[in-house]
Structure 1
Amino acid sequence: MSEPEKHLSRTLDPRSLRGLAHPLRIQLLRALRRYGPATASQLAERLGESSGATSYHLRQLATVGFVEDDPTRGKGRERWWKAAQQGTALDETLHKNPDPEVQGAIEVLLFEVATTHTQEMNTYLGTRHDWDETWHSASDMSDFTLRLPAAKLRELNEKLHELIDTYRDTADADAPGAERVRLHLHAFPQQED
C-alpha cells in the first residue's frame, strides 16, 4: 500500500451507509482493516460465524466498494479480500436525511462503533497485567466535562484530530517497544440534572 493510500478514509453517503450498516459487515470490515487480507473462511473462524454468512456479507460490502479482491493472494477458487479504505467518516448531512432507512442505518453504525469501543477497553482492562508497567502509566482513561456551544465542540474535535494526525506516521512507529495503540474520543452533549 503506498503512503498516500495508507490512511485513505471514505465518507459515507446514503447508499454506502445502508450497505455497511449491518453488525457482521461492520465486524468484517474492521477485521480486514485491523488484520489485513483474509478469506471468507478465515474471517468466519475469527468472528465465530459461518463461512456462508461471511462470504455473502463480503460480497455485499464489495458491491458498495468497502472491500475488494486481493489479487496478490490465493490459488484457484480461494478468494482473498482486503479493505478498500482504512477509515470511514459519517457525512454530517446524513443526520438530516429524512429517509427512515438512512436514520436506521446511522443508529446501527453508531451502536456498533460504541460496542466495539467498549469491547476494546474491556479487553485492555482485562489484560493490562500482561503489559509492562510503562504502558500502565502511559495509558489513559480520562473524562472531562466542559460547557461549550456546538461550534466550540466542533473546533475542539477538529484540533484533536489534527493533533492525532501528527502522531500517525511518525518514525516512532518502528521504534523498539512501539505497539499498536487505540485511541477513542467521545464527545457529546449531556443533559444537566
Structure 2
Amino acid sequence: MAESSRWFSLLLVPEHDHHELDARSLRGLAHPLRVRILGSLRTDGPSTATRLAELFGQRSGTTSWHLRQLAEHGFVEQDPERGNRRERWWRAARRETELRPEKFGGDPELGPVLSSLLHEVAAVHHRRTAEYVSALNEWPREWCAASELSDWVLSLSPRELARFTAEARQLVKRYSRDPESGDEQVLVQLQAFPRGGAAE
C-alpha cells in the first residue's frame, strides 16, 4: 500500500480512507485469518473467497464467513465492478487501520483481544521479513544495497519516543505516493518499544 496494510496508521491517507479501531471493530478484526485476508485485499487488490482460500490453505466456506465478518465491521465491502451472481468479489473498504493500544490495554476484557491482534500483526511482520531474506539472492544488488535490516537500542523517555515515532511518520509520509505509480512496492516496518519489562 505502496504498502497499505498498516495496523498502526501513519495517517497518510485522507481521513475517510482510514478506520480507527473501537472496541467492537477490535473484536471483529482480532482473528489471525481476518488480519491476513484484510492485508491481502489491501496489498494485492480485490479477490474472491475461493481465491483467498487457495492463498491461505483454507476452505472457501471459511474465508467466505470471515469476509462477511470483516464486512459487518466495515473493513471490507463487495466490489460492484467485478463478479456476478455466482462469484462475489471483495475489496478493502479503507486503505489503513489505526490502532491506539493505550485505549484498550488496561481493559480486562479487551486486553486479551488486543494482545491476540498484536501477536498476529507481529507474526505478519515476521513472515514478510523472512520471505524477503529467503529471496535475497533473487534481488539485484542495487535493491540489496538499498534495503535495511537493522536495529538500534536508544535510551529515551516516553516523550522522546513519541517525538521519534512522529518524525518517522513524517519521513514515511514524505516518500508516500500512489501505489499505481509503477514503482516497486517497498515494505517499511518501524518497531519502537521499551526493551525491558513493564515499568511501574
Is this a same-fold pair by TM over 0.5? Answer: yes
What does 1:11-160 correspond to in 2, within 5 Å? 11-100=20-109, 102-160=110-168
| d(CA) in 1 for partners of 2:16, 2:129 | 23
| Aligned residue type for 1:185 | L
- 2:104 is paired with a residue of what secondary structure? helix
Residues 108 and 171 of structure 1: is their aligned pair in 2 closer, same or farther, counting only changes over 3 Å?
closer
What TM-score do the two structures reach when normalised by structure 2? 0.86
- 1:125 is paired with a residue of what secondary structure? helix
- What is the Cα-based RMSD across aligned positions, in Å? 2.2
Q: Is the 8 A contact 1:7 1:87 kept in 2?
A: no
- Matching residue of 1:10: 19
Residues 170 and 41 of structure 1: is their aligned pair in 2 closer, same or farther, counting only changes over 3 Å?
closer
Report the identity percentage: 41
Paired residue total: 185
- 1:106 is paired with a residue of what secondary structure? helix
Deviation at 1:26, TM superposition (A): 0.7
Residues 127 and 79 of structure 1: is their aligned pair in 2 closer, same or farther, counting only changes over 3 Å?
same
Deviation at 1:8, TM superposition (A): 2.4
| Aligned residue type for 2:135 | T
Deviation at 1:103, TM superposition (A): 1.1
User: Which is richer in helix?
Assistant: 1
Gaps in structure 1 of 5+ consecutive residues: none
| d(CA) in 1 for partners of 2:14, 2:155 | 38
Q: Is the 8 A contact 2:76 2:90 kept in 1?
A: yes
- 1:183 is paired with a residue of what secondary structure? coil
- Matching residue of 2:5: none
